[in-house]
Amino acid sequence: MKNLAWINGEVCDLHEANVPVEDRGFLFGDGIYEVIKIYNGKPFYLEPHLKRLQRSASAINIEIPYSNEELNEHIAGLINQSECDHGYIYMQVTRGCAPRGHLFPGGIRPTVLIYVRAFESVPSRELTEPADCITLPDERWMNCYIKSVNLLPNVLAFQKAHEAGASEAILYRPDGTVTEGTRTNIFALIDGVVRTHPETRYILPGITRGIVLDILKQISVPVSEEAFKVSELQEASEVWTASTGLEIVPVKTIDGKPLKEISPGPVCKRLAGEFWQVVDAECYGGKQ
């Protein structure tokens, strides 16, 4: 496996890749990104990721100088050159390089970066160990639907969770409404209905979140894109997180208190199995 990077059409070793000091992504966080999982040498749900990348770029007035079809080809070529079977693709687009100034500079070309990294081992098909979570105020900006590289509030919240012995922080607005995690979407089974925050500017519309919603509907589990409060979490029968990087992770404690039922619960277990069927169909030809 070779860790390679693609920057504006040029391929190099990842450790030799660099961008100029005056790139606006470095100076201002003026950029957006995506992370795509690779299973069996194939990018998982690539098209939805690319559509979200374009949507984020449009929201901050960046015109990506490549079509989705071209990006698809470059990604496939990079995976092939990297000889990666299981890993992830990181994509970042910034407004480009220009002398430092707050106004958008004219006449510059966006910086497009793509790189591939391998996982140390094949992703497990078993549910991971149930997670301990804490709750924290959501101190991020008001446009979380944009997958911006400005992740400092997420990083600080995740660090607090780590220092508290937890693996994720569940974020909530001033009125107690749960939004999402630092890097995950949050689902809770409350009074027999799976609930998750609706798609608004306060959350990132996760690709895995969408897959989870589709699966729940297909297996006839009651589900509602309806926000819930921190106070309702302790009444939930099941809670889990969903993300591209971590897939589906059951939660066993919140702020040191165990959930009402043993984790993982039956809905989460079935959901995880169905999720891997989606992966098999997408990346293994349904042969696993």
- 91-104 in b/e form (b: 16+ CB < 10 A) is bbbbbbbbeeeeee
Residue bearing tokens 């299981």: 86
At 221, which helix (H) or strand (E)? none
- Catalytic choice (51, 147, 217, 257): 147
Residue 150's alpha-carbon distances to 25, 33, 35, 137, 221, in angstroms, are: 9, 10, 15, 18, 36
User: Residue 147 catalytic?
Assistant: yes
HSE-up of residue 116 (Cα within 13 Å, Cβ side): 28
Two structure tokens written together for 129:
């160990």
**Interior CA angle at 51 toward 45 and 117, to 5°?**
50
**Interior CA angle at 52 toward 81 and 224, to 5°?**
125
- Measured N-to-C along each axis, helices 46-59 and 207-218 cross at an angle, to the nearest 10 degrees, of 130
Residues designated catalytic? 147
